[in-house]
Amino acid sequence: MTNRYTKNLQPEGAFTVGEERGLSVALAVVFAGMFLYAVADIFRNPDAGINNRLLLLAVIPAFIFFRKIRSKLVIMKIDAAGFSYYGRRLFTWPQFVSAKVVEEGGTSRFSDNFKLHLKYYREDGNLYHRKLPLSNTQNKAEEEIIAAIRFYSGLGQTP
């Protein structure tokens, strides 16, 4: 099963996780359409109530999603040197202890709540446990992330 996810990984390469662009494009278009409808409705019927004017607020999420489309932000980078999160190196592979994906449930949640649990040693010698959120808008699956961690963390080890 892991082999399916690691067949495209190269020892000198890097595995990166970013935002899924397709979903951001769709949401940006929907919110921009709502905003344009509200603007057109104001010109057609200037005496209308506040209900249609509230759709003008759709420009805010439209702007946010258009910015996400243009962003080349890398959320996670996994390579032979170690693991980085938002451009900051969390650990190198000699410091790495374990990684697993856990779904932290809630009683009133409608969506998944997956977290990447990482255990690693810092320079001060203490063991750290960090939980990184895995959103539904990321362009890589949880299984791919775990497979990349296993692949790159094992590069320096001899069989």
Query: Phi and psi of 101, rounded to 5°?
Result: -100, 130
Query: pTM of the entire structure?
Result: 0.74
Residues 6+ apart with CB under 8 A from 18: 72, 73, 74, 75, 138, 139
Token readout for 147 is 């497979």
pLDDT for 108? 65
Report DSSP state, residue 94.
G
CB 77, CB 18: distance < 8 Å:
no
Q: Give the SS3 label for residue 111.
A: coil
Helices 59-70 and 21-44 pack at an angle, to 10 degrees, of 150
Task: Centre a 10 Å sphere on the Cβ of residue 19 and count the other Cβ atoms it contains.
Answer: 18
The per-residue pLDDT for range 98-146, each reduced to its tens digit, is 999 998 876 666 667 899 999 999 989 899 999 999 988 788 889 999 9
Domain-wise residue ranges, the chain: 2-19+74-153, 22-70
